[in-house]
Structures are given as structure tokens and as C-alpha cells.
């Protein structure tokens, strides 16, 4: 009987040891993360990634001067956020201040450089999300708020709501002491000329209701795309908190108060400390239907995919399957950064905790 009990004890002990060896838990040790494939990933102290829009961005359509201007502004923007993170600041501050730089530049379709609607107005959208609390804020269809990402943040922090739109959002911005401008602040001749070209093309084409016709309503022959320049940022801070934000002027020639994915939490912006922070840029209608930003996070949390695998599945498979295109920038809880897009280019930049800067425009 004693030998039988000893045998049972040894059997279960060996079985348990085997289970521990064959199914090790993911652990963090000495700043290393062991993933499910038993490969070690260095955990970054902090990281930041930005985008300035995705689309048909080809080198042959870009002058050396314009390319240089974009790279200078991308570097200026990301260094603002990087400095905040390096000095121990929060990811939410880094995201907001980085996006402010791009909103204040006429190069991007956000803030100062916003595209024109069919009615020759500028209607701006933005959203921001805190991955530590899942709190979020968004503004849509504003015409007088200088920096829509600032409004998104005060909505997140100072109101019981997630999204405000139009006149009500503008009134709230005034009450919160945000910078208010006259509508001519957003005027740029380049964007107005783009609208006129689109309208001319629209007037000369046969009116149909097929997908290609809808596409041409927004196509801009100058910038070679219909959704160009949306800006965004995702960041991880030293406290391990993730945040993301997105700001845009929407589509050239948009009508009827159209709202895209940029102010939609889960589509244009998402952040969760358990997975990643994401900012999207692309054809908003499809990014809303696919809930792109949240889907990437969900694939990581529920399916166990890496950030790269999740972003690739959504951007290279799910969105094109629906008929849309565009891209995302994202950073995960370990500081791994990804820029995934299915267009010919995306303005983007990264900086890590080693002060390494990378700026890219075209598909490598």
C-alpha cells in the first residue's frame, strides 16, 4: 500500500513539473518579456509613434522641398512628445502636445491645414483616450476651436460625456477657456484649390451610385488621394500607461455634416494598458465598420496575437476585404511600435527610450 501511494505521488509530481515546463507563463524579468514563443523582447521604458496621414503618397509626386518640410515638421512634433516622456511626463500629455504641433501646421489635414467641405467650410474632428482608465473624449464637426485635440481632452477629463459635436462642442470649448478662432484661421489656398478641382471633376463625370463614383466625389488630383493628412499619436510612458489621439479635417468635399472615424473611439482611436494604443488614418467609413483600433487591441487580448500580427490582420485583410484602405500607428505595453498601412505611403515617425529617431514617408 505504501509503495502504491508513493507511486501515485511521484506520478503526479512529475506530471505537474512537465506541465510547468511545457506551458511557462509570460513573465517580465530584468526588463525582458518572454512571449508565447519563448523569445525575449526588450521592454522599453517609454516610446512614441506618430502619423501624418496615409494615402497615395509617391516620391515622384513630391518635390524635394515639400518632402523636407514634412520631415522637419514630423521631427518637431515627435520630439515634443518624446521630451515629455523622457522627463517622466504622462503619455496623455505627450499625445496631446505632439498632435498640437501638427494641428498648427498647414501641411496636415488637421487644425490649420484642414480640408474644405463641399460648402467651403472647415469641419474638424478629434479624439483622445487614456489606456490606464479607458476614459476618452472626442469632438466632432467644430469650426472655431483652434486645436480640436485639446477639446477632446477636456471633454474626457472635465465632462461626464465622451463626445460633443458642432455648436454645443464649441460652446463647451469656450467655457473651458480653450483657444477660439475665426473660421478664416483654417483657410489655406492649397486646400481650397484642391476642393475646386474635386468639384470640377465631380461636375464633369456621369452621375451614378456605384462605389467608384462615390470615390471620385472625394478624389483630389493634386494630392492624389481623397483622405490625406489626418494626424495621430500613440505613446507609452515610464509609468506603463498608454494613450492615443487622432485629429483631422475629414474628407475633401464632404457633405451633410459627415463624420469619419477619427473621433470615434474604437475606430480612429483606442488605448488600453492591457494591450496597445492605436491611431488610425484612412477611409473613415470602412474604419468605422471594422472598428479598426479596437479590433487590433481585441486580437491581442483575446487571440494572443502580437501587435504586429494584429495590425497586419486588420489593415492587410479585414479593411481591404470591406473595400477600404489606410493605415494605423500603434505601440504596445512593452513599447513595441508598429506602422501598418496598405497604401503607397504614410507620413510617420518613431522615437524610443534610446533617443533613436526614425522618419519615413513612402512604403519601404
- Measured CA to CA, the distance from residue 126 to residue 262 in angstroms comes to 6
pTM score:
0.85
Indicate which residue of 117, 230, 343, 344 is catalytic: 230
Q: 3-state DSSP: the chain helix, strand, coil percent, rounded to 5?
A: 40, 25, 35
User: Residue 215's pLDDT is what?
Assistant: 43
- Measured CA to CA, the distance from residue 252 to residue 53 in angstroms comes to 14
Contact 122/116 with Cβ under 8 angstroms?
yes
- Assigned architecture for domain 45-362: 4-Layer Sandwich (3.60)
User: Residue 39's pLDDT is what?
Assistant: 56
User: Residue 216's pLDDT is what?
Assistant: 40
- Measured CA to CA, the distance from residue 7 to residue 323 in angstroms comes to 62
- Measured CA to CA, the distance from residue 327 to residue 339 in angstroms comes to 7
C-alpha cell at 275: 494591450
Q: How many CA atoms lie within 13 A of 174 on its CB side?
A: 12
Catalytic, 252? Answer no
- Measured CA to CA, the distance from residue 134 to residue 224 in angstroms comes to 36
How do the domains of the chain map onto residue ranges? 2-41, 45-362
Contact 260/284 with Cβ under 8 angstroms?
yes
Q: What is the pLDDT along the chain (364 residues), one digit of tens a residue?
A: 444 444 444 444 443 433 333 333 332 233 344 344 445 677 999 999 999 999 888 888 889 999 999 999 999 999 999 999 999 999 999 999 999 999 999 999 999 999 999 999 999 999 999 999 999 999 999 999 999 999 999 999 999 999 999 999 999 999 999 999 999 999 999 999 999 998 988 888 755 444 444 444 444 444 444 445 799 999 999 999 999 999 999 999 999 999 999 999 999 999 999 999 999 999 999 999 999 999 999 999 999 999 999 999 999 999 999 999 999 999 999 999 999 999 999 999 999 999 999 999 999 7
Q: How far apart are the first and last CA of the chain?
A: 70
Amino acid at each position: 500500500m505504501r509503495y502504491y501511494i508513493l507511486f501515485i505521488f511521484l506520478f503526479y509530481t512529475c506530471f505537474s513539473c512537465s506541465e510547468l515546463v511545457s506551458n511557462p507563463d509570460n513573465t517580465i524579468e530584468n526588463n525582458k518579456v518572454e512571449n508565447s514563443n519563448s523569445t525575449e523582447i526588450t521592454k522599453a521604458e517609454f516610446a512614441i509613434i506618430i502619423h501624418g496621414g496615409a494615402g497615395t503618397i509617391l516620391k515622384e509626386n513630391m518635390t524635394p522641398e515639400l518632402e523636407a518640410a514634412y520631415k522637419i515638421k514630423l521631427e518637431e512634433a515627435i520630439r515634443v512628445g518624446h521630451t515629455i516622456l523622457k522627463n517622466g511626463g504622462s503619455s496623455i500629455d505627450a499625445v496631446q502636445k505632439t498632435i498640437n504641433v501638427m494641428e498648427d501646421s498647414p501641411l496636415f489635414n488637421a487644425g490649420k491645414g484642414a480640408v474644405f467641405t463641399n460648402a467651403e467650410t472647415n469641419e474638424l474632428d478629434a479624439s483622445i483616450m487614456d489606456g490606464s482608465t479607458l476614459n476618452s473624449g472626442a469632438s466632432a464637426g467644430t469650426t472655431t476651436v483652434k486645436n480640436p485635440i485639446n477639446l477632446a481632452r477636456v471633454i474626457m477629463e472635465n465632462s461626464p460625456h465622451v463626445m460633443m459635436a458642432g455648436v454645443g462642442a464649441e460652446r463647451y470649448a469656450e467655457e473651458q477657456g480653450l483657444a477660439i478662432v475665426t473660421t478664416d484661421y483654417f483657410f489655406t489656398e492649397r486646400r481650397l484649390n484642391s476642393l475646386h478641382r474635386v468639384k470640377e471633376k465631380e461636375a464633369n463625370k456621369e452621375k451614378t451610385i456605384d462605389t467608384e463614383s462615390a470615390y471620385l466625389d472625394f478624389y483630389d488630383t493634386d494630392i492624389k488621394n481623397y483622405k490625406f493628412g489626418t494626424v495621430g499619436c500613440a505613446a507609452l510612458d515610464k509609468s506603463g500607461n498608454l494613450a492615443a489621439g487622432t485629429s483631422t479635417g475629414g474628407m475633401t468635399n464632404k457633405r451633410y455634416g459627415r463624420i469619419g472615424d477619427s473621433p470615434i473611439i474604437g475606430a480612429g482611436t483606442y488605448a488600453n494598458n492591457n494591450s496597445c494604443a492605436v491611431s488610425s488614418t484612412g477611409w473613415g467609413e470602412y474604419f468605422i465598420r471594422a472598428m479598426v483600433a479596437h479590433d487590433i487591441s481585441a486580437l491581442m487580448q483575446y487571440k494572443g496575437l502580437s501587435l504586429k500580427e494584429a495590425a497586419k490582420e486588420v489593415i492587410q485583410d479585414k479593411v481591404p476585404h470591406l473595400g477600404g484602405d489606410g493605415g494605423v500607428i500603434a505601440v504596445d505595453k512593452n513599447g513595441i511600435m508598429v506602422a501598418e498601412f496598405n497604401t503607397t505611403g504614410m507620413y510617420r515617425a518613431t522615437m524610443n527610450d534610446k533617443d533613436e529617431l526614425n522618419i519615413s514617408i513612402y512604403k519601404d
